[in-house]
Amino acid sequence: MSTLSSYFVPLSQKRKAEETAEIVESTSDPFKHCKTNTEDTCGQEDGGSGKDWPECWTLLQKNDFCQRNEWLFVNNKRLGCKVCRDVGGLPVEKRMGMKISVEVSKTTVNVFKKKIFEHKESGAHKAAERIKSESKNEKLDKVVLNTTKVFRTAYKVAKKNQAFNNFEDEINLQELNGLDMGYTFHSTNACINILNHIADEMRKTLISNIVNSKNKISLIIDESTTVNNRITLIVSIRVVLPKHSAPVSLFLDLIELQDTTARGILSSLISHLESLGISEDYLKEYLLSVTCDGAAVLFGAHGGVKRLIKEKFPSVVFWRCANHRLELSVSDTVNKVVGVNHFKNFMDKLYVTYHASPENARELEECAATLELQLLKIGRILSTRWVASSFCTVFAVWQDYEALVYHFQEGLLRTITSCEFVLDLGLMCDALQVLSELSLDLQERNIDLFTADRKIKNTVQLFEERIENPGPYYNIALQSQKTMKFKGSELHKNEKLTPTISSSAFYESLKETVRKCILEGDDADLPECAKVLDSKYWPENPGKQLTFGETEIRKLAQKFCLNEKETILGFHEYLEENEVPDKLLPLMHALSTIAISSTECERGLSQMNLTVTSSRSSLVIRTVSSLMFIRMVGPPLTQFNPTKYVESWLLQGHHNAVDTKSRKRSREDEAWLNSSSIWRARGSLSLCNCAP
């Protein structure tokens, strides 16, 4: 006989009705009866062991909630969102303040919080649902894929230094080849915006790696003016990056200067570096040296950037570009030694003769062909160009001598066939060859302070020995003076008594001026201190003389603000094992990080002149900097992966390549419309099978 709880309803049916009413009541909010106190749970007759759902739910409630909310799932008595778990992030739809909670996606939300129920109406959850639904029909993949194609095309335009107008033609070409390039991002402005974004992201990654490496850095700066008369500061950085054993010199940025005074330049430099992520505090700890040319506003001892940097960062080594010093030393020699100017003037006449007259150049080529000789280009010497180009010019005259004599009938013939000219030519070939090799060595990106100092000293010693022992070209010229014949041509004495170059005075002047390329002042002893790190200068048993080099290492550690104790211990290990330990690496990296030459900025200047031409003079400095950064620092086109740049682009709220809400570009071509009748003609004028 059944027990009744009322006169009309059995107990089992009444309990079932109460549960059904509870479910209906809690449908709008499944957590209405859940209290913050874990003791106030909805205990049921089956609420015991083995349950995976929250204690405040019955089995019927759990099934009903999960059925009504397909996104909900239960695990280990905690709740989570299936959609957010599957999406895992919002690579496309993320906006400001929109973020998937880790708790929600990994089922760590306690049931006593209403967070999971409120999550259903959140923007992040709706965006995740949209991403998941679009992924089923591959719409999301299409967004990223098409935008990636556009980014790669824009990168190619910058890497090959093409005009931005070529971007639309590149898009058209790929569409004609059957690729889907989307609907938008086909304009010149889109290409500029994309390249600026790529360069900014690349620069952020580079700065982040530099800051995280905690290695010393060197700055290379140079002031320049663009074609559109904007004064800029080219900034390059030299540093040992993580997983690299040698330093690299990289173009960093191009800064437009509003104030060209020393204080204005320094203020613009520091504020711009801070905007990139290199703070002034970081510079105080890790800035090792600054390299620039000899311009007064930069290197002036009283009112230049050098003095201001020394006041702000006392330990910084301020290095004057060794290549610029070398050029100035050659210039000083030209002004001091009698006869050099006369030789230079004659070489300039040769240059003008063949550079300004195509007819003379053609006749010289015919003479060379008759003599079966191959001509070398004749340029200017001892001018504003690097000394290596001066050697190329004098060597070209040496090689082309027979053709030049064959071509000249009068005028310059008397000068070029004189004994004095041949002697001067041989002397200049010897000297400029040595200076050219030194200049090229100093321009190498991996040259360090000790190596540069040694090469400069070797050159000084070579010039000193050349006073007594002539070089190979000068010896040939001396033999020609005795026989009065050079390369088959008769020589004669100079009738005008033009002064020739004294070899002893010439080499003495070069020796003294090149010697100035070595460090001066407080930093003059740095190369000598660094000498102890070269095993060639160690004693026979360095392991038994642990005090060897200790003074020099201590000086270097103090100069570069390194840990003295750790550095000296590392040097002792180096002496014993002849292998560089980790404790000595900071000192080794610091010495190799000092930039010897500002040629990296010169390369940037050359790249800027190739980018900002007369037809592109309206480019803003930010765009010019982005193009230069991609050209000089960016990876090759075959190794460029645009995916991460596309994701960061979309995360910033930009449109994608298949966004139908964006304006499509016009594809009408007026030139085609004007000539379409010709190309679509039939009969005898038919030029193609174009559709009518």
Return the residue matching tokens 């020995």: 465
User: How many C-beta atoms surround the C-beta of residue 440 within 10 A?
Assistant: 15
Write out pLDDT tens, residues 503-551. Answer: 888 888 888 888 777 666 666 778 888 888 888 888 877 767 778 888 8
CA distances from 215 to 87, 203, 243 (A): 39, 18, 12
C-alpha span between 232 and 229 (Å, rounded):
9
Question: Residue 22 has what pLDDT?
Answer: 45
Helices 387-399 & 419-442, crossing angle to 10 degrees?
A: 140
Q: Which tokens go with 226?
A: 């663009």
Q: Do residue 379 and residue 497 come from a single domain?
A: yes
User: What is the band of 112 on the pLDDT scale with cuts at 50, 70, 90?
Assistant: very low
Residue 240 counted as domain residue: no
Residue type, 93: E
Rounded alpha-carbon distances, angstroms, from residue 498 to 223, 312, 336: 41, 55, 17
CA 407, CA 504: separation in Å to the nearest integer? Answer: 34
Phi then psi dihedrals of residue 231, to 5 deg: -85, 125
Q: What is the pLDDT of residues 422-469, one digit of tens each?
A: 888 888 888 888 888 888 888 888 888 888 888 888 888 998 898 888
Question: In this prediction, what percent of the chain has a pLDDT beyond 70?
Answer: 74
Phi and psi torsions of 365, nearest 5°: -65, -40
Which among 333, 308, 684 is positioned nearest to 502, based on CA atoms? 333
Please state, in angstroms and rounded to a whole number, the distance separating the CA atoms of residues 395 and 389. 10
Gap between the Cα atoms of 337 and 333, Å rounded: 6
For 320-333, what is the mean pLDDT? 79
pLDDT at residue 634, as a whole number: 92
Q: What angle do CA 504, 505, 511 make, to 5 degrees?
A: 90
Tell me, what DSSP letter sits at residue 182? Answer: -
Which pLDDT value is given to residue 383?
55
Of 142, 119, 117, the C-alpha closest to 129 is 119
Look up tokens 């402005």; give the residue: 189
Q: Which of 94-108, 221-235, 385-399 shows the lowest per-residue confidence on average (mean pLDDT)?
A: 94-108
In angstroms, how far apart are the furthest CA atoms of the chain?
Answer: 149
Q: Confidence band (pLDDT; 50, 70, 90) for 6? A: very low
HSE-up of residue 414 (Cα within 13 Å, Cβ side): 8
Q: What is the 3-state secondary structure (H, E, C) of 439-453?
A: HHHHCCCCCCHHHHH
pLDDT the model gives residue 495: 63
Cα separation, 174 vs 157, in Å, equals 14
Q: Is the pTM of this model over 0.75?
A: no
Residue at 443: amino acid letter: Q
Per-residue pLDDT for 397 more than 50?
Answer: yes
Residue 47 in domain: yes
pLDDT at 415 over 70: yes
Residue 303 maps to a domain:
no
Do 336 and 509 contact (CB within 8 A), yes or no?
A: yes
CA angle 323/249/311 to nearest 5° reads: 75
* Contact partners, residue 320, CB within 8 Å, separation at least 6: 291, 292, 293, 294, 299
The reply to whether 472 and 545 lie within a common domain is: no
Range of the domain at 364: 325-447+456-515
547 & 500 share domain: no
Q: Do 504 and 547 sit in the same domain of this protein?
A: no
Of 93, 113, 136, which residue sits at a domain end?
A: 136
Q: What is the DSSP string of 8-69?
A: SSBHHHHHHHHHHHHHHHHSS-TTTT--SSTTS----TT-STT--S-TT--HHHHHHHHHH-
At 545, give phi and psi (nearest 5°).
-125, 70
How far does the chain reach from its first CA to its final CA, in angstroms? 95
CA pair distance 630, 195, nearest whole angstrom? 8
DSSP category for residue 681: -
Q: Is the dihedral of CA 322, 326, 331, 332 positive or negative?
A: positive
Question: Residue 431: CA atoms inside 13 Å, Cβ hemisphere, count?
Answer: 31
Nearest CA among 256, 232, 242 for reference residue 210: 242
The answer to whether residues 436 and 503 belong to one domain is yes
What percent of the chain lies above the pLDDT cut of 90?
14
- Give start and end residues of each alpha helix (H) in 484-584: 503-515, 526-530, 550-559, 564-577
Q: Report the C-alpha gap between 42 and 509 in whole angstroms.
A: 101
Q: Are strands 231-239 and 78-81 parallel, antiparallel or unpaired?
A: unpaired
Whether 167 is in a domain gets the answer: no
Token digits of residue 429: 């070939």
Same domain, residue pair 460 and 556: no
Give the pLDDT band (50/70/90) at residue 362: confident
* Domain end point (choices 593, 628, 651): 593
Residue with more model confidence, 515 or 476: 476
61, containing H or E segment: helix 59-68
What mean pLDDT comes out for the span 54-73? Answer: 74
Number of other residues whose CB lies within 10 A of the CB of residue 299 = 19
What was the pLDDT predicted at 624? 92
Read off the pLDDT band of 126 (50, 70, 90). Answer: confident
Integer CA distances (angstroms), 507 to 332, 383, 511, 516, 607, in order: 12, 19, 6, 15, 36
Q: Which of 67-81, 240-254, 269-283, 649-663 has the highest mean pLDDT?
A: 269-283
User: Which carries the bigger pLDDT value, residue 228 or residue 633?
Assistant: 633
3-state SS class at 547: coil
Question: Is 587 found in the same domain as 562?
Answer: yes
Q: How far apart are CA 250 and CA 254, in angstroms?
A: 12
- pLDDT tens string 552-568: 889 888 888 888 899 99
- Considering the domain architecture, whether residues 478 and 374 belong to the same structural domain is answered as yes
| Whole-Å CA distances, 299 to 302, 308, 317, 343 | 9, 10, 12, 33
- Domain total in the chain: 3
- The stretches of 115-261 forming alpha helices (DSSP H) are 115-119, 123-136, 139-159, 166-176, 188-213
Report the alpha-carbon distance of residue 13 to residue 415 in Å, rounded.
127
Nearest in space to 587 (alpha carbons), one of 561, 613, 550: 561
Report the candidate in 226, 227, 235, 159 with the shortest Cα–Cα distance to residue 194. 159
Which tokens in the block code for residue 315?
């330990």
- My answer on whether 533 and 390 are in the same domain is no
Q: Mean pLDDT check: name the lowest of 104-113, 324-333, 453-462.
A: 104-113
Q: Do 583 and 510 reside in the same domain of the chain?
A: no
pLDDT of residue 217: 92
In a domain, residue 235? The reply is: no
The token pair at 115 is 């967070």
Return the higher-pLDDT residue of 301 and 274: 274
Which band of pLDDT confidence, cut at 50, 70 and 90, is reported for residue 19? very low
Q: Considering the domain boundaries, does residue 635 fall inside one?
A: no
Q: Do residues 477 and 363 both lie within one domain?
A: yes
- Of 608, 448, 431, 587, the C-alpha closest to 502 is 431
Clarify whether residues 365 and 433 are in a common domain: yes
**For residue 13, is it within any domain?**
no
CB 371 within 8 A of CB 406: yes
Q: What is the pLDDT of residue 44?
A: 37
User: What is the token pair recorded at 505?
Assistant: 């005075």
Entry field: residues in the chain:
692
Report CA dihedral (358, 362, 365, 366) to the nearest 10 degrees. Answer: -160
Taking each helix axis from N to C terminus, what angle separates 419-442 and 503-515, rounded to the nearest 10 degrees? Answer: 20
- Domain boundary, last residue among 113, 136, 159: 136
Mean pLDDT of the chain: 76
Residues 164-218 have pLDDT tens digits of: 888 888 888 888 888 888 777 788 888 999 999 999 999 999 999 999 888 899 9
pLDDT band of residue 684 (cuts 50, 70, 90) is very low
310 in any annotated domain: no
